[in-house]
Structure 1
């Protein structure tokens, strides 16, 4: 190599050394930008997947697919967090936020050890899964997002992606409202891809403040039109839910945004009004386009004006009262996350049972729910933590003079206050709660953007690596747990739609595979026990009875608090008595009957299950006592009067039997209901007159049945019997012939005609 070439090479190397720091800095900036985009892309995938995913091939259509998406995305974000920690690019989180959030998370863990039913407190109720595991994921997501480097560009990108995720959700809600849905969901209020209209409304109320922020932020007509259209879409979708709490939260958040930015809003008032008018007009026209819409609005306004007539409000007041009773009993550590279903039966009031028989899983008030499940300290820690978040938000607004920064922070304040307001009548949900925690985390990250990066000591770095590694391992396990739950749920969903007689081989395979996927899960054991019970009821196979017995016993052992597991076990014993497999109930079932009557004394289903058992034992006096209690809960339940009449007749008290049948008829006719219960009561009274040879009154009762139910075969058979016994064979023959016109294969009518032929010879 010549001297000239060597000099040239040395000069190039010297230039490279001089430029190397600058190049490395640019490469590092580009690398960080790319890394941020990867993080934001994962957040976007989380937003879209949790908001949109559902499946019609499993029983839990909405929650389980969203649960899997949440856990996969959370795992990816934690892995990226580890990479960011290695690069030393984590924001310094204020100590008061860190300690408040950590204290809340640790208290949830500590109080869970005192839960009534640990598996429920860990994993949650079937179909919801809002227990400790997912709550800790939400807290991890908050800290993860809160420590991200954040500027105006990035916070705008994250919130815009979140609003964009709500666009297809909103379109689908409108399609449902217009009855243009692709899937046959129950008609009524729109639930979109979320699964519940109230939660859908709450989710839309999270995105609406940011749509409003971007509408106010951008000055161009094109941008105003775009965000005005987004606001209109969210408003229409919100309307289709007919949810009052979320709608009010939108009003509150909007008022907060305008109040904080009133000076700038006044300056831009003409343009705001110019775009607001068409939005308002189109929204109004959409509402007025459907008479059903006006009817729903009118009913909602009527309910608001008279809360005593609002069924939803009254039911929630019942739940609130039960929750307060539970808080009194478990004030410090609570009953365990998602344990309202466990404690509610013991506090169920008599009046709640009069209208419907349910065991709610949520209080429908987030604050009472938290105090009940994890104690009053948990509620205080939660509110303290949220106070620290508000401090960060308000400090950011106070120290900035930039309109855009203040506008964005006002959006976070409005969103948070709106969420807390709607949570007065709301509850946790996988389709809602993680979004709230991520968004307040993003708001905190933007609020502390001037704090700089975190320079941890070596021992803290090691501690964080260990913690995040453990979290990653836990999330890997939870991803597979969600996959197994979906697999088991799909198998049981298929099994429930099969015939126990014709498809038993496939049903049994599904049951065993499903149970293997979720071992020890009481809910699936209970479902499996019910399927084996159906098989035994149809075939009488002893093996099916024994397997149903084993599964239901296991389900009760794994959750001794679930009333319906007890009911199913008692029902199995009832069927076994009916089929003659056993001669009397086992001692364990007798204890179960006593336990469930004590645990849920105001639940009609408990009494109905016990009544069926006592009927098979022919303990009619016990049946009458149980019926008396059941009727105090459902005083207008017609089948109770029919059963009471039959019991009195079996014990020889005919007058009491007739009184019960007449009470059934009286209640039924007062409501204008002429159904099978009314028919049975009239039929029993007609038979009573027939036994007394009072043919005129017997005919009167039977004819009234035929007049009210002219297409029903039973009154014609009854008329045929009455005419035949009274000796009017022509009328009897005519009545049985009428019965055969409605049901050509009716055996009673054929038998009646055959008897007439034998007597008359024709």
Structure 2
């Protein structure tokens, strides 16, 4: 719509014939009428129920997504001030994001590699000189169109204007680059003067040059495309195997090692996936301890290699800490966390991993102290308060847990997973009265969920209230007939023992 408006505006001002100027004015008026009409009709069911119009209707500067953009732009501005002339280098926005991280982003994606604004991206990647060069591309294209003063000027001027405006809120991708450079190529062809001049090549020299280029192409194609293809295919196979059960973990590990051995563009991702595999299998008893330790040692080795390449990348210091925590090496975990905090001092995710280290070590006082610090920085961070409640329950600090539960209830509805985690923590302390309270809440939310009913009944049994346990199971059978056989077996077991 904006491109159409700009096309009409440019065409109207650049056209020398009155009929074209009148047509342009009519088009501008039509666009304005559409916008005004949309404003007055935006609350109608037609607009609300239309997937495209509905998105326009929901556009708001106060939207959480746009609010996050404004925060990230401010972070980018801080990074630009640090390196204003040449920037931080290509693909290094993550360094700025980590260093100037704003804790208000706790609900968003923890790892941004773009500013969601092309102009800020260029300021970070190449500084003011890079941004001026980028803007110069637009300026030279518009200048070439201006010299012709034809309909093409209006058409492509409108396209470039719309693209320019879009870049205020997004980052470029392959498809947008293809379209952008296609437009630039047409503008160049449209504005360039043709000069025919024969190219003289000796046949032997031409053959030699062709052969040389072909050889270089083969090597580059293998290094850039073929290796990347096989590495990514192997990585996908590993991820598929990972979902097929514990007997496939050894195969998954071998696939990861094979993928990393290609040493191509997917190596970073493969190393991250190995680290995540360590955390996924750390607490499982159905996987041999020797295999778990072998995978962990390999993950640590690969993450250290990655840190040799990217020593200032917070992400890999954190991944290394996660692996160390998973195998109980809390000293090295904290050393990695401290390194991560040097490059990203305000990131809650790093501090949460430090808390996890103390929690796993059963140093609950330190874990609670650090968690209260995070809540002090971001009082409206429900996940942090939910984790504080869990630690307090495990530590036997029921008064603190009750206080924080009351505070959390003022901020948000309790998450299902949090209720289950708290119930498990209370169960580990034989506080089945609290387990009953939590599963009664879950039962209200999901009255037809048989597993919730089973857990609630089990808690009643532990309290010695068998009649209530039987009543819960009978209610579950009435709501889920398919549960009848299993439910009656549970009832017989309860009454028999």
What TM-score results when the alignment is normalised by the length of structure 1? 0.52
Residue 388 (1) aligns with residue 388 (2): no
CA distance in 1, matches of 2:119, 2:437: 61
Q: CA deviation at 1:526?
A: 2.4
CA distance in 2, matches of 1:633, 1:554: 34
Q: CA RMSD in A?
A: 4.5
Residue 544 (1) aligns with residue 295 (2): yes
Aligned counterpart, 2:269:
523
Closer/same/farther in 2, CA of residues 689 and 679 from structure 1, 3 Å limit: same
List per-residue Cα deviations over 1:479-535 (Å, max 9, x = no partner).
Answer: 330332232112212211213623345434432332233358433322344345545
Closer/same/farther in 2, CA of residues 363 and 396 from structure 1, 3 Å limit: same
Closer/same/farther in 2, CA of residues 266 and 537 from structure 1, 3 Å limit: same
Which of 117, 133, 136 is the equivalent residue of 1:365?
117
Contact 2:119 2:168 in 1 (8 A): yes
Which of 70, 77, 81 is the equivalent residue of 1:317?
70
Closer/same/farther in 2, CA of residues 558 and 504 from structure 1, 3 Å limit: same
Which of 486, 505, 511 is the equivalent residue of 2:229?
486
Aligned counterpart, 2:105:
352
Q: CA deviation at 1:591?
A: 2.0
Residue 329 (1) aligns with residue 82 (2): yes
Contact 1:536 1:545 in 2 (8 A): no
List per-residue Cα deviations over 1:371-399 (Å, max 9, x = no partner).
Answer: 111111121233234333333322233xx
Aligned length: 463
Closer/same/farther in 2, CA of residues 679 and 423 from structure 1, 3 Å limit: closer
Contact 1:351 1:633 in 2 (8 A): no
Higher RCO, 1 vs 2 (CA within 8 Å, ≥6 residues apart): 1
Residue 617 (1) aligns with residue 369 (2): no
For structure 2, the residue ranges without an aligned partner over 5 or more in a row are 202-206
Which of 162, 182, 185 is the equivalent residue of 1:438?
182
Aligned positions of 1:511-660 closer than 5 A: 511-519=256-264, 521-531=267-277, 534=280, 538=284, 539=287, 540=289, 541=291, 542-577=293-328, 584-587=329-332, 589-632=333-376, 635-636=379-380, 638-649=382-393, 651=395, 653-660=397-404
Q: CA deviation at 1:544?
A: 2.0
For structure 1, the residue ranges without an aligned partner over 5 or more in a row are 1-246, 398-405, 459-464, 578-583, 758-762
What TM-score results when the alignment is normalised by the length of structure 2? 0.76
Contact 1:573 1:613 in 2 (8 A): no
Aligned counterpart, 2:53:
297
CA distance in 1, matches of 2:283, 2:420: 27
CA distance in 2, matches of 1:681, 1:666: 18
Closer/same/farther in 2, CA of residues 383 and 470 from structure 1, 3 Å limit: farther
Residue 498 (1) aligns with residue 227 (2): no
Aligned positions of 1:32-47 closer than 5 A: none
Closer/same/farther in 2, CA of residues 259 and 523 from structure 1, 3 Å limit: same
CA distance in 1, matches of 2:430, 2:401: 13
Which of 452, 458, 462 is the equivalent residue of 1:721?
462
Closer/same/farther in 2, CA of residues 295 and 609 from structure 1, 3 Å limit: same
Which of 496, 504, 507 is the equivalent residue of 2:252?
507
Contact 1:484 1:517 in 2 (8 A): yes
Q: CA deviation at 1:559?
A: 2.0
List per-residue Cα deviations over 1:665-693 (Å, max 9, x = no partner).
Answer: 4544xx4x5624246658888999969xx
CA distance in 2, matches of 1:389, 1:467: 34
CA distance in 2, matches of 1:686, 1:329: 52
